[in-house]
Amino acid sequence: MKTSYHKMILFFPFFFPYFLWGKDLTPELTTKTFYFQTNEGQVAYTKEGKGKLNIILLPGIGDRKESYIDLAKILAKENSVYRFDLRGLGESDSSFSSYGPKETAEDILAFIREKDLRDVYIIANSMTAASAVYIRSKEKTRVLGLALSGPFVRDKEPISFGMKALIHLAFRGPWGPSAWVSFYETLFPVHPPQDLKERSETLKMNLKEEGRMAAVRSMLLAPKTECEENLPQASGNVLVVMGSKDPDFDFPKEEAEWIANTLDGSVKIYEDVGHYPFVEEPSRFASDVKLLWQKK
């Protein structure tokens, strides 16, 4: 995640009372949750639809599988769609010893192999774009394509000591969940979804559970080195979708083009869209993603 999120952190003392006493709403789940057992704990997921293609949806840091509901409804009309919670978040266990892009990749690799899934396509957002790259580099015969949304696949520079301190200060303690949600809302800078407040409150409620914010902090600080090293092995049939107003990047289009060139893929820039193109424009996103398998 881009280091400029410190801009949000600098404002958090002014909102400190709100962080402590913000209201919560009860989340509603519309699909049965299943659990995949890993060596250290359970990872939650849902399955919708039935089809030859197996599409795996991975959310970004601090987010939940429910963020993909609109996209999943479209894709599940013709495919088997799996929406995952990352370890430590959503309905997954928060007792893992470590969290990060490689750990997510290892969880999904184990799932694909145990379920013997073929014709797999992975849609990933933010940090888990690095996870998707790692997964495909290890299982290219099973994983046939990637759609990377608002993607981070490399570390341009190490996180400074000061930034590490800010992350621990802002996202620890009773204000941590609300501080994260305030940051989350800035990732929709132009056209926020109509239900943004409901999404935010649901996220905050989940992050108040024991161990959730520790997982978020760990993900924010986790390196992408091992995933980045596998970029050459993951190339081909890759779509990079980037919002032109994604505040997580200084130059969104430039980063999207670098990733696409590195992975021998293509780019779709969504004008006036932020960090979550699949939330802001799910129908368009679904149409673009389908090109990954319709051209094969």
Report DSSP letters for 129-182, one per residue. HHHHHHHHHH-TTTEEEEEEES-----SSPPPHHHHHHHHHHTSSTTHHHHHHH
Residue 289 scores a pLDDT above 70:
yes
pLDDT tens digit sequence for 113-158: 999 999 999 999 999 999 999 999 999 999 999 999 999 999 988 7
Poorest-confidence range of 140-144, 167-171, 177-181? 167-171
DSSP 8-state class, residue 203:
H
Q: What is the pLDDT of residue 2?
A: 53
Confidence of residue 14 (pLDDT cuts 50, 70, 90): very low
Mean pLDDT of 254-275: 98
- Quote the mean pLDDT of the chain: 91
Mean pLDDT of 252-275: 98
Confidence of residue 282 (pLDDT cuts 50, 70, 90): very high
Mean pLDDT of 89-112: 97
Residue 16 scores a pLDDT above 60:
no
Ordered structural domains, the chain, with CATH: 3-294 (3.40.50.1820)
Residue 20 scores a pLDDT above 90:
no
CA–CA separation, 80 and 24 (whole Å): 33
170 or 154: whose pLDDT is higher? 154
Q: What is the pLDDT of residue 128?
A: 98
Q: What is the pLDDT of residue 29?
A: 37
Q: What is the pLDDT of residue 296?
A: 57
Mean pLDDT of 272-279: 98
pLDDT tens digit sequence for 70-85: 999 999 999 999 999 9
Instruction: Report the amino acid identity of residue 151.
Output: P
- The three-state secondary structure class of 107 is helix
CA–CA separation, 249 and 62 (whole Å): 18
Assess contact for 132 and 241: CB atoms under 8 A. Answer: no
Rounded to the nearest 10°, the torsion over CA 63, 221, 183, 13 is 140
Poorest-confidence range of 15-19, 170-174, 207-211, 224-228? 15-19
Rounded to the nearest 5°, which phi and psi values hold at 144? -95, -15
